[in-house]
Amino acid sequence: MCATCGCDDAAGPRVTVPHEHVGDHGHGHAHSIDPHRPTSSIETITLEQRVLAKNDSLAELNRSRLAGRNIVAVNLMSSPGAGKTTLLERTIRDTGATRPVAVIEGDQETLLDAERIRRTGCAVVQVNTGAGCHLDAAMMHQALDELEPASGSLIFVENVGNLVWPALFDLGESGRVVIISVTEGTDKPLKYPYMFATADLVIVNKLDLKPYVDFDLDECRRHVAAVNPGAQVFAVSAAKGDNMALWYRWLADRS
C-alpha cells in the first residue's frame, strides 16, 4: 500500500486474464500524504496501522469467501528468481488432475509468468502492480472476481518477488510458503526474519545446484527454526522434480 511502504503507481494495479480480456482496477485508496512534507514517527505509525487494519479487514472477507466454497489459497513468496513459477508449472502438471487449480500471478509488469502458467492449461489471472512491491487483499479480491474459482479449488498466489513487504499483507490465504534457492545463500532467514516468521512452510529450491554453490542446508534449517520454530522446511528441485512429493503431501493435507 502506498502509505505503508512507499510504492506508488498512478495507474493502479491491473488484473488481466491472458488472451481473454483486460480489466483496469484502482487501488481503492486515496493518496493524501505529500512525500516531500516531513512527518513525525507517530504520524507514520498511526497511518501504517490504519492501512494494515483496512487490509486485514478485507483479507478476512476474502478468507470467509474462500472457506465458504471450500477453496484453499496458498500464498507463495520469494525473492525474484527463486523458482516460484517453475515450482507452479510442475505442481500443476503433477497434481492438477486431482482438483481444480487456479493461479493469481503478481508482478510489477508483463504477462510473462501468466503466459507460462496458461500453457499448463490452468486458469490464471495476472495482477500487475506497477511500482507496487506486493499484492494486497483488495487486489486478491479483484483477482478472485476475475477467476471465479470453482468450489473445492486450490488457488496459488505467486506474490511479487521480494522478501520484505509481501509478508506484511494478509491476502486471506489459507497458508503461506516462502521459497528460497540454494543460490541465494544460507543466511536469508536471518536477514529477512519477518518473512520467515510468517511462513507455514519454507521450500529450499534448486537442490540440483547445491554441489556448485556454498549453501549449508542444515544451517539454513537452524536459521529458520530460530525465527519460526513451527515452520517446516523442504529441500526440492522444481526443475528436476526431486523431493516434490513432500510438497504435494503438504498441499494434500490442506484440502
Q: How confident is the model over 140-184, as pLDDT tens digits? A: 999 999 999 999 999 999 999 999 999 999 999 999 999 999 999
What is the CATH code for 10-26+38-252?
3.40.50.300
Span 102-143, pLDDT tens digits = 999 999 999 999 999 999 999 999 999 988 899 999 999 999
pLDDT of residue 15: 75
Q: Locate 244 and state its grid cell.
A: 516434490
Per-residue pLDDT band for 44 (boundaries 50, 70, 90) equals low
Query: What is the reported pLDDT for 74?
Result: 98
Q: Which triple of cell numbers denotes residue 57?
A: 479487514
The stretch 81-102 carries a mean pLDDT of 94
d(CA 249, CA 255): 10
Q: What is the rounded distance in angstroms from the CA atom of residue 173 to the CA atom of residue 137?
A: 9
pTM above 0.75, yes or no: yes
Residue 216 confidence (pLDDT) above 70: yes
